[in-house]
A and B are shown apart, each in its own frame.
Chain A
């Protein structure tokens, strides 16, 4: 397969990621409805697909209000940060052999760094809104995302040990014979939970927590700034799903079908899993959330790393 020019990949991936993120809103609503014995949006266009477009037009027509009491610069910057950081991570994702913007040799670290930067968006949004609910949401986000960041990185180290590289391309290639889900099942579970918390998805949507905090950190946002948070959230889900597919399920590898198709097939499975979590699980209390992160999941991640390290040392040939 001839690999396209990186610039072509860049434009294609940018376009694809944004379309996917907005299409995901429709996908999520339909899927949630399906699991709740309803239909969901099915009126606008074929299968209600144009619903997203209608919502987009609506949100663009809304008044874009900046509260007079807000810290203007941070308030306007916050929604941009989340979209930018998540989109930057897409640069290192290998969609198929050659279809990648930049094959960094530390791609995994880059991804972790970018997802940590995403916290700033939420915290700044909560802080600059000058609203107690926003501030509470921002505080929760900071605590939640920082503590889940810790073992998110640790849970991936098992994969790095097995693959012997930080490059995502290399990690996919290392799974030619065996997907890492088999030796790293615990790592997968930990990463999935951390991914849920990182993207602030239900059941870990405590920074938003509509039932207690109005809309959490984005209570004061309206119009397209609010839309940016949404796009950022859905981009984040897409990113984490893609990461799961790449790190644990062999990325584009698969028999028969073309690699790109395999990748998207896996991607959609995990997107659906994210949405299923939302349909099925209630939100935990905040102290429970923190207790799980530090008292249960972090030790588990360390244990996983320890055992993997020992086994790799004992059985795998030195590289």
Chain B
């Protein structure tokens, strides 16, 4: 009997305690910098697209929501002809960011992507590409990779020794 009265009193007192609800649009939630939200494609410091269309993100994606088509430009640089993410399927697991060898695909602290039409949640490359390097300033895959492209020969990458002359190494 006393327990019942005590419960009622305790519940009544709760009216004078601070509320735990956060009034969301007016009081935005804190999102840490490593929050996994809306996906972007970054550019290297020179302004070129980082993505080399290796398909790793598309393969690792557990819900198969990335679609792209690789192609090559005149200089021999691979890049995606189109790059499409269906955000109505994406679960923001971040696997694509982990898989990417070039830091091209990155997740950002933004989740406010509501749309009235489902179709609008399919983002094309133009929607995904941003102007800067995102979380990795200064990194340029083509400058450190030992791949030969137009304007850069073998051995000309950063920290790369010139190719050894096989005949010189003969005993």
B1-36 vs A: 1/0 string, CB under 8 Å?
000100110111011011111010000000000000
Q: Does the CB pair A34–B15 fall under 8 Å?
A: yes
> Cβ of A276 < 8 Å from any Cβ of B?
yes
Complex Cα distance A37/B4, Å? 20
Complex Cα distance A70/B20, Å? 45
Query: Which B residues touch A36, using CB under 8 A?
Result: 14
Q: Does the CB pair A37–B17 fall under 8 Å?
A: yes
Q: Please, could you name 9 A-B residue pairs with CB atoms under 8 Å apart, sorted by A?
A: A34-B15, A35-B12, A35-B14, A37-B14, A38-B19, A39-B19, A276-B12, A281-B4, A281-B7
Q: Does the CB pair B8–A280 fall under 8 Å?
A: yes
A14-53 vs B: 1/0 string, CB under 8 Å?
0000000000000000000011111100000000000000
Instruction: For chain A, residues 264 to 319, give those with C-beta under 8 angstroms from any C-beta of chain B.
Output: 276-277, 279-281
Q: Does the CB pair A281–B21 fall under 8 Å?
A: no
If A280-B7, A281-B4 touch, whether A37 touches B12 (CB-CB below 8 Å) is: no
Question: B20 is contacted by which of A34, A37, A277, A280 (Cβ under 8 Å)?
Answer: A37
Query: Which A residues touch B4, using CB under 8 A?
Result: 281
Query: Which A residues touch B17, using CB under 8 A?
Result: 37
Q: Does the CB pair B18–A276 fall under 8 Å?
A: no
Question: B21 is contacted by which of A39, A277, A279, A280 (Cβ under 8 Å)?
Answer: A39
Closest Cβ of chain B: how far from A289's Cβ, in Å?
14
Enumerate chain A interface residues (CB-CB to B < 8 A).
Answer: 34-39, 276-277, 279-281
Query: Which A residues touch B21, using CB under 8 A?
Result: 37-39
Most B Cβ at <10 Å: residue of A37, A38, A276, A280: A280
A42 to chain B: closest residue by CB: B23
Please report whether the interface of chain B is mostly helix, strand, loop or mixed according to DSSP. Answer: helix
Tally A-B pairs: CB < 8 A.
Answer: 32
Complex Cα distance A34/B21, Å? 11
Q: Does the CB pair B14–A277 fall under 8 Å?
A: no
Complex Cα distance A279/B7, Å? 10
Query: Which A residues touch B7, using CB under 8 A?
Result: 280-281
Closest Cβ of chain A: how far from B7's Cβ, in Å?
5
Question: B15 is contacted by which of A35, A39, A277 (Cβ under 8 Å)?
Answer: A35
Query: Which A residues touch B19, using CB under 8 A?
Result: 37-39
Query: Which A residues touch B18, using CB under 8 A?
Result: 37
Q: Does the CB pair A277–B23 fall under 8 Å?
A: no
Complex Cα distance A35/B16, Å? 8
Closest Cβ of chain B: how far from A62's Cβ, in Å?
23
B14 to chain A: closest residue by CB: A35
Q: Does the CB pair A280–B23 fall under 8 Å?
A: no
Query: Which A residues touch B20, using CB under 8 A?
Result: 37-38
If A37-B17, A37-B18 touch, whether A279 touches B11 (CB-CB below 8 Å) is: yes
Complex Cα distance A280/B12, Å? 8
Top 6 closest pairs, chain A to chain B, by CB: A280-B11, A280-B8, A37-B19, A34-B15, A39-B21, A280-B7
B23 to chain A: closest residue by CB: A39
Closest Cβ of chain A: how far from B14's Cβ, in Å?
5
Most A Cβ at <10 Å: residue of B4, B7, B10, B15: B15
Complex Cα distance A199/B77, Å? 76
Complex Cα distance A243/B19, Å? 34
Closest Cβ of chain B: how far from A188's Cβ, in Å?
15
Closest Cβ of chain A: how far from B41's Cβ, in Å?
36
B17 to chain A: closest residue by CB: A37
Complex Cα distance A36/B18, Å? 10
Q: Does the CB pair A281–B8 fall under 8 Å?
A: yes
Complex Cα distance A34/B17, Å? 9
Complex Cα distance A86/B7, Å? 31
Query: Which A residues touch B11, using CB under 8 A?
Result: 35, 276, 279-280
